[in-house]
Amino acid sequence: MSIQFTYGVRGTEQANVDAVIRFVSKKELTQSEAVTPIVQPQIDEALRGRYAKGLFKADSEQTEIMPTLGLYPASHIVFVGLDQDGGATSLRLAAAAAAKALKKLLAVNVQVLLSDALVEGPAASLGVESTAQALTEGLLLALHDRQPLKREKAERFSLKEVALVPQGAAASAEEAALWTQGITKGRLYVEGVILARDLTNLPGNDLTPERLAYHAEELARELDLEIEVIDEWSAADQRMGGLLGVGQGSINPPRMIVIHYKGNPNSEEAWGLIGKGITFDTGGISLKRAEGMQDMISDMGGAAAVLGAIRVIGELKPAINVIAVIPTAENMPSDRAIKPGDVLRMMSGHTVEIVNTDAEGRLVLADGLTTAITRGATKLIDVATLTGAVSVALGTHATGAITNNDELYKQVQLASERAGERIWQLPSYPEYKRQIRSDAADLKNSGGRYAGTITGGLFIGHFAEGLPWVHLDIAGTAWLDSSRGWEPKGATGVMVRTLVELIVHQE
Ligand code: BES
Ligand code: MN
Ligand code: ZN
């Protein structure tokens, strides 16, 4: 990403940018004659005229693009509705709406005006750093989307410079430093999300388990982190029956990837982050229907979220230990594939009766949890595109959560609020676990249609060995059929920023 992001105006370059972004609230527009102009008296008058006619209401995500015709040193003003009391999510949404207007204008150089209302409102209540971070995230996240692999490369919209500029009095040196810090942090978070999105958008033939391991190795090398890539032979030595069972139907062998981040070598505590890495899910012998199956390239969205988070953590270097684990396999039907009725012996020693080969995520994740625990993890978060049922329950608007520890869940919940990524807890009453009892083994891998998200989660939780654990089912949120807010169509990179917030906040 080559977009320059700065705070304050550098030198005398302030004039003649392609666009100036000005966030406006309903309140500013109803004050009939404000003391200070919004941008410039004649332009303000035109804007108020649009407001009076109900054409621009300063609603959230609403934009009004106006050419300045020489009345202001910029070609266009982009007015963006902002809910002044809405917090970081409103700022991200407003910045994302602005980004879409900039795309339309093919803007290259841009200024974002930080009005007094913004500085005294959101920046004062949220803090300057978080405000800058939210604006940066909203803008940059909304500008990133899936790049098709066409013969002729599409002309890419090339925004080059964005300057956040105080509209009123210049900020103190300390405050200016906070704006810059927030921008830097926002950019870092965005890089993590973009890594996750790009990996998830890769087609299945370009992203096999071995290729995913290669990407993880590249990341670990860049961040100077220790990595283990466990191949099928080594996995057999370590008795990873779940991972090997799911992977055995494919010509592309499975991998268990472990990245070690040691920010606090003196501590015994370590977060285990486990991400589902099914590079393509056909369902196996319990084959999925054809319609929509192509979207199953996103079945490694959990793995991508964990790698994206590691990218940010590796740069921010918090004094915390993290063990990132990615069990990755391709779920295929073949003469070698697992079948309903098979019984697998997992890495933990537990046995599992396969009743549906399409419930494969929990099988690889079970060994993922055991791997994290054997490497020293003391609390566990798994992220997985686990069940279609979570979309039935929550649609695309929230990630489903299951836990065995309400205190840990509370921390995850707070992190997700800071990130603006909704999660919603589902109950884990012990009665649900009866659904996955088996006559042939310790557990069966599907509890049927009822409460599918809960029973899927509880299956994974069985392998947490009593450690605090939270399961995040992102099957409804990792991939979208149409863009919204700061999220594009296709991979969203959801949960990268929540995981980072969770871990960075613990320092
Ligand atoms: N990867 C799917 C879940 C999924 C569905 C993700 C739709 C994204 C969009 C998962 O492996 C799966 O197939 N789950 C089954 C579980 C069932 C067999 C118990 C499902 O949801 O039908
Ligand atoms: Mn499946
Ligand atoms: Zn799957």
Counting from 1 in the atom list of ligand 1, the atom nearest the Cα of 446 is 19
Name which residue sits closest to atom 17 of ligand 1, judged by CA: 359
Tell me, what's the pLDDT at 15? 61
> Does pLDDT of 10 surpass 70?
no
Residue nearest to atom 14 of ligand 1 (CA): 387
Looking only at the bridges linking them, the beta strands covering 399-403 and 423-425 are parallel
Q: E strand or H helix at 227, and its extent?
A: strand 226-230
CB atoms within 10 A of CB 9: 15
d(CA 164, CA 179): 9
Q: Which atom of ligand 1 is nearest to the CA of 449?
A: 19
Q: Does 358 sit in the ligand 1 pocket, CB within 6 Å?
A: yes
Judge if the beta carbon of residue 452 lies within 6 A of ligand 1.
yes
> For residues 386 and 401, what is the distance between their CA atoms, to the nearest angstrom?
11
Q: What tokens were used for 267?
A: 């501590």
Task: Report CA Rg, the chain.
Answer: 24
pLDDT digits (tens, 9 = 90+) for 440-455: 999 999 999 999 999 9
32-36, 208-212, 386-390, 466-470: which has the minimum mean pLDDT? 32-36
Name the β-bridge partners of 163: 6, 111
In CATH, the number for domain 197-504 is 3.40.630.10
User: Quick check: CB of 365 below 6 Å from ligand 1?
Assistant: no
pLDDT at position 190, please? 98
Pairing of strands 321-331, 255-262: antiparallel
How far is 500 from 234, CA to CA, in rounded Å?
31
Q: 39-48 in b/e burial notation, b at 16+ Cβ within 10 A?
A: beeebbebbb
Q: 401 φ, ψ to 5°?
A: -130, 145
358 CA distance to ligand 3 centroid (A)?
A: 7
- Neighbouring-strand partners of residue 423: 399
Cα 149 to ligand 1 centroid, rounded to whole Å: 27
Mean per-residue pLDDT for 212-220?
Answer: 98
Query: Which residues are known to be catalytic?
Result: 288, 362
With the most atoms of ligand 1 within 8 angstroms of its CB, the residue from 285, 387, 458 to mutate is 387
Q: Which residue of 356, 386, 435, 472 sits with most ligand 1 atoms within 8 Å of its CB, as the best mutation to test the pocket?
A: 386
Give the CA angle between residues 92, 93, 98 to the nearest 5°.
Answer: 95
The domain segmentation of the chain, as residue ranges, is: 4-171, 197-504
For ligand 2, the distance from its centroid to the CA atom of residue 419, given in whole angstroms, is 28
Say if ligand 1 is within 6 A of residue 389 CB.
Answer: yes
**CATH number of the structural domain 4-171:** 3.40.220.10
pLDDT band, very low/low/confident/very high, at 95 (cuts 50, 70, 90) = very high
Q: What is the pLDDT of residues 262-304, one digit of tens each?
A: 999 999 999 999 999 999 999 999 999 999 999 999 999 999 9
**CB of 66 closer than 6 A to ligand 1?**
no
Mean pLDDT of 76-93: 95
Does pTM surpass 0.85? yes
CA 278 to centroid of ligand 2, rounded, Å: 9
**Percentage with pLDDT > 70 across the chain:** 98
User: What percent of the chain stands above pLDDT 90?
Assistant: 91
Quick one: which ligand is closest to 356's CA?
A: 1
pLDDT tens for each residue of 412-427 = 999 999 999 999 999 9
Cβ(299) to ligand 1 under 6 A? yes
Residue 348 has pLDDT above 60, yes or no: yes
Ligand 2 geometric centre to CA of 354 (Å): 12
Amino acid at 9: V
Measured CA to CA, the distance from residue 331 to residue 313 in angstroms comes to 30
Indicate if ligand 1 lies below 6 Å from the C-beta of 388: yes
Question: What are the structure tokens assigned to 325, written together?
Answer: 């684990």
